[in-house]
Chain A
Amino acid sequence: MAVAKKGELLLDVRDLKKYYPITKGLFRKTVGWVKAVDGVSLQVRKGETLGVVGESGCGKTTFGLSLMQLIEPTDGKILYNHKGNWVEVNAKTIKGLRSEIQMIFQDPYSSLNPRMRVRDIIAEPLAANGVTNRTERYDRVESLLKAVGLGSHHMKRYPHEFSGGQRQRIGIARALSVNPSLIVCDEPVSALDVSVQAQVLNLLKDLQKEFGLTYVFVAHDLSVVQHISDRIAVMYLGRVVEMGDVEQIYNAPKHPYTEALLSAIPSPNPDVKDNKIILTGDVPSPANPPQGCAFHPRCPYATERCRTERPELVADENGHSVACHRAEELMLKGVDVGETA
């Protein structure tokens, strides 16, 4: 992991925003905005895995899709290090960058075209990105299928003939087909059985080593994220509230929201007494976020200042950043994860 840290910057996201209009009435007048992603800035280094966590509706998937330009961001910049040159990722440039940035989707059941054979699903991005020779494409498909643990006998089959785990392997092979550097994984294992989750995660790790991949790994499952990530960004209501190395986040969280998330990880040891921090209330609506710190209505440590003033994301000398007024004074409880592999 220390090695990965030294990698050069690959992705630089600056103040990314995605607002959805709320329309009303006959003429669809815009009466407000849902701030799905509200000013996210983060960097990803070559070869590392950045985990993006948060509960449902916090904007993590929107963030991932914006990186791919599958959703057009409202504002902000996405800069991508294309062989030493910084390129801004937008609707125009993404066509040329599709072979650099790829995505693995959440639901392996719905994200594969039911009318296409596996070999065509995987070969199609190759054709779209300039591999005109069909035999060459199919050869590549064959080697990709082997790389993800499937065989050449699967080439002519249709997606419905596969199990969920196998389908996700097809999805991974498809993402890998154009030989990308960065892969955005949008909850790639959340639709799978726990036993299959581990297989797919290990496959992703192996592929990362083999092909030198960089991952942005979006998930809501903290144990999954811990298993695969080098660094983690915690999102709440469209914003990053805490970001740091896995050890920093898990052992010594600085944001009360992170602490509550960590306390909710189930322990396999029945003798360990649960000390779950149960957050009261629901996630506030992103259309109408609370004043001040967005987390303050649910935060057990909230003060008057939290209600009025919004905290900025501030990094300490170890690169551990947090957006909380009381980060210095609070002694928050983490979980013991030890060294991550």
Chain B
Amino acid sequence: MLTFITRRLLFLPVVLIGVTLMIFVAMSFLTPAQLVSAYIKSPEELKNQSVSELVVKYGLDQPIWVRYINWMKNVLKGDLGYSVSANMHVTEAIAKRFPATLELAIFAVIPVIFGGIWLGTVSAKNHNQPLDHASRIFAIVGWSLPDFVFGLIILLIFYGLAGWFPPGRLSVWADNIILSGDFVQYTGMNTIDALLNGRFDIFLDALRHLVAPTITLAYLWWAYILRITRSSMLDVLNKDYVRTARAKGLMERLVINRHVRRNAMIPVVTVVGSMILGLLSGVVIVETVFDYKGIGLLIAKGAQQMDYTLVLGTSLFYGVLLVLTNLVVDVLYAVIDPRVRLE
């Protein structure tokens, strides 16, 4: 197991070079003049020097491999460059925005995993009965509804009409407290920080802002987990060892929980792995709809402004995250299924 993990981690740099190289090549379609805009923090900078001087100054006239190596040198020093769109260093921007996305992901993942698996179990147990049909319709709707449409519906109902769950991350008053010196931001996740600071009112306010995006994210993935669990459960229910379990005289509950569900979890783990990754990176749309200032919104805005230092930096970050998540999933396989050997 340890050799397996080590080997996979040794593979990490290869993946990262691949990812960044691809983005670099894509970036090379931009002219040096377009690229230089990423370095210009304010119009004043153009007063004393021309764009072509800046191009030379930042080495953008160099061939692509030279620029790549220069960028890599900085990365190895821990410098991902300065993001104009975020008006701060890329590392700083990630550190600031990622906790928000992580917080949203955590809130979405918990109901998704438990609810999805539970509903899938119920559905499989009542195969082809009304309960099964109902949960399947629920799943199909969730899976086929685009998240920006569903998000807007949620926003319309719960904010527009009811006024319960506003967009953003915090109300203005809470934001002011958080930014004041008295409030310590331990994790960057508002709910946890609020509890650690003993501010229950801020905790509730943060929670109120989390509800709508959580529902939007959860419904989509719920549908997916439900369907995977259901079909996997149905598959296992027909296995001979389930019949053996019944012959042993076990209670039906034990047969389902101990024999069927444990074996049915193997494909679910794969999906959960990619889901967590998706929640951490692909929530651009949901964060945009709800104006939730997480990393998705950061990337979306950066990309619109051709802020390629930001795009490169966050891609690198997600490359690392991807490799690590896949590693965890692969290790989990071995834990779940004794037939799997990690080599």
- The interface of chain A, by Cβ under 8 A from chain B, is 65, 68, 70, 95, 98-99, 102-103, 105-107, 110-115, 124-125, 128-129, 158, 160, 171, 174, 178
Contacts and interface: CB of A to CB of B under 8 A. Distances in A.
A180 to B, nearest CB: 11
Main secondary structure of the interface of A (DSSP, over half): loop
Contacts of B254: 128
Contacts of A99: 249
Contact of B241 (A65, A95, A110): A110
Interface of B: 239-241, 243-251, 254, 259, 262-263, 336-339
Given A115-B262, A160-B338, A103 B250 contact: no
Contacts of A174: 244, 248
A68 B246 CA distance: 10
Contacts of A98: 247-249
B104 to A, nearest CB: 34
Determine which residue in B243, B245, B248, B339 has the highest number of CB atoms from chain A within 10 A of its CB, and name it. Answer: B248
A45 to B, nearest CB: 23
Contacts of B249: 95, 98-99, 125, 128-129, 178
B241 A113 contact: yes
Nearest to A102: B247
Contact of A115 (B240, B244, B338): B338
B241 A111 contact: yes
A102 B248 CA distance: 8
Given A112-B241, A158-B338, A160-B338, A70 B263 contact: no
27 contacts: A65-B243, A68-B247, A98-B247, A98-B249, A99-B249, A102-B247, A105-B240, A105-B244, A105-B247, A111-B243, A111-B244, A112-B241, A113-B245, A114-B241, A114-B337, A115-B336, A115-B337, A115-B338, A124-B248, A124-B250, A128-B248, A128-B249, A158-B338, A160-B338, A171-B244, A174-B248, A178-B249
A128 B249 CA distance: 6
A68 B243 CA distance: 10
Contacts of B248: 98, 124-125, 128, 174
B299 to A, nearest CB: 40
Nearest to B243: A70
Contacts of B336: 115
Determine which residue in A98, A112, A114 has the highest number of CB atoms from chain B within 10 A of its CB, and name it. Answer: A114
